[in-house]
């Protein structure tokens, strides 16, 4: 896949269908995620069973956040999305711009030898 592929719908009808499909898929995944939580807490489950179910829940959650259905930065589903090949995730174009702006601001401080606190250069550079 292209390094920075963007999905932006110009046709309003197609956009509405795509966003509704994202919403439907997100709801279905979250419903299964919650169902697995109930299954995990059922009587008679061994620690091994619980660990296996929890791993399945984690896989589901990770898959949803890597998909184009939801932005892992802001959890919006109704925005244009851009693929980040380094992170192997889709982010909305608003978050991409925020991460880019944040990077430029923090990098300028770093370049002057300043302290920027909790800041991942690799993460933020992947949005440039
Ligand atoms: Zn976002």
Around ion ligand 1, residues with a beta carbon closer than 5 Å are 71, 73-74, 92, 95
Q: Which candidate, 101, 90, 95, places its Cα nearest to that of 3?
A: 90
CB-CB contact of 33 with 63 (8 Å): no
CA 94 to centroid of ligand 1, rounded, Å: 6
Q: How far is the CA of 72 from the centre of ligand 1 (A)?
A: 6
Q: pLDDT digits over 87-100, tens only?
A: 999 999 999 999 99
CA of 98 to the centre of ligand 1 (A): 9
Which pTM does this prediction carry? 0.85
Model confidence pLDDT, tens digit, residues 43-78: 999 999 999 999 999 999 999 999 999 999 999 999
Phi, psi values for residue 119, rounded to 5°:
-150, 120
pLDDT in tens, 2-40: 678 999 999 999 999 999 999 999 999 999 999 999 999
């Amino acid at each position: 896949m292209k390094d920075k592929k963007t999905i932006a719908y110009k046709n309003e009808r197609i956009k509405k269908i795509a966003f509704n499909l994202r919403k439907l898929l997100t709801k279905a995944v979250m419903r299964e995620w919650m169902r697995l939580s109930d299954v995990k807490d059922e009587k008679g489950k061994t620690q091994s069973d619980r660990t296996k179910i929890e791993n399945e829940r984690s896989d589901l959650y990770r898959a949803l956040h890597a998909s184009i259905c939801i932005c892992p930065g802001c959890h919006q589903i109704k925005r244009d999305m851009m693929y980040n090949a380094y992170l192997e995730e889709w982010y909305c174009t608003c978050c991409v711009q925020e991460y880019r702006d944040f990077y430029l601001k923090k990098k300028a401080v770093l370049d002057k030898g300043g302290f920027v606190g909790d800041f991942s250069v690799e993460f933020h550079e992947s949005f440039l």
